[in-house]
Structure formats: structure tokens, C-alpha cells
Chain A
Amino acid sequence: LAKTTQPISMDSYEGQEVNITCSHNNIATNDYITWYQQFPSQGPRFIIQGYKTKVTNEVASLFIPADRKSSTLSLPRVSLSDTAVYYCLVAYGQNFVFGPGTRLSVLP
């Protein structure tokens, strides 16, 4: 059974680096891992996507080990506005499976 798991919640302080890990044991060889951010009353918003090794964009980095059974979203120097729920998304066959979401609270 395809399953994607994440920590339910995390706390951090402004200016710190935050790492959120997603486990996806049954990922297929050609599937990408994608991360989304969601604020209350809004749809999820794309953060970053990767297939293997490391990907970096202007807002985050994504680390994927060689076995691809997990991935880690890294948010550098978080601010209060990064308080949100973060989801990883993996496609298993024809079914797109979101993780349960990690509620990140950034404290001043």
C-alpha cells in the first residue's frame, strides 16, 4: 500500500533553518517528489520539486538520497510568514499521494 509519511508538526524560531522529512518507501523509479505550502483558506502552493540528489531554488532546497525512499525539504532562515502546512506529494502509479502535512509554527 502506497504511503507517504511526515511529522505532524514542528516548531522553529525566526532565522533558523528548518528541515522537514517525508518518507515514501514505494516510490517508483520515474516519480518526482514535490513539496507544497498551504496557508489557511488557500490552495497549496508549489515550493520545489526533485528527482534525485539536491535541488535548490530561491526559497528552498530539496535533498533526496540515492535510494529515494525519503526526501528532506530545507527552508533557510525561516520567518513568521513561513508558518503554514507543508505537504510532500509523490505519484504512485496513477494515484497521487500527499503526505499528511507538517504544520510548521515559526516563533518570534
Chain B
Amino acid sequence: SQELEQSPQSLIVQEGKNLTINCTSSKTLYGLYWYKQKYGEGLIFLMMLQKGGEEKSHEKITAKLDEKKQQSSLHITASQPSHAGIYLCGANPGNTPLVFGKGTRLSVIA
């Protein structure tokens, strides 16, 4: 079965700094989803990547998919307190359901 490993597990950055979160799959990635979750709440869809080399941006968040490395990265530019939360990557093995990583907990300090 497909497994997703996220790194780092947690991250504390100063407001205004850039950061990167990685998601590595144990199998070929046919699609990769990024979600954000505030503690104890539902998942907010950020973006979906389908093709190798694809890059998408949503406000100050950019995600890329590297099919050869079976990896996706999420990059936040000039972090703000509103970026704090848990970032989860999810993969679609062939169709639903989604398989998720354990998440990366991001804290942004002033």
C-alpha cells in the first residue's frame, strides 16, 4: 500500500521567513493533494498536482510535484501567523480514497 512521509514533522519559523515542507511517497505518484488543517478542525483544500513538474500557487503558497523523486514540496514565502496550522499531503493511489501523510505542524512566531 502507498505510504506518504512528510518532513519535517514540525516547524517553528519567524514571521516573514520562507519555509519548505516535503512529502515523499513510497510508490509512484499519480496525483498529490495539499490540505491545511487548524487544530481539531476540518481540512481546507489548498491545491492538487497531477503531472510531473507541475507547479501551482495559491497566494504565497507554492507546491511542486517531482514524479521521478516521488515527491512533492510545499513552499511558503514570507510566512504570516495566518499560515500556522497542520499541512497534510494526500495521494490518490488510483482513485479515492486518499492516503495521507501524518502532517507537518507549522508555527509562525512574531
Partners in one complex: no
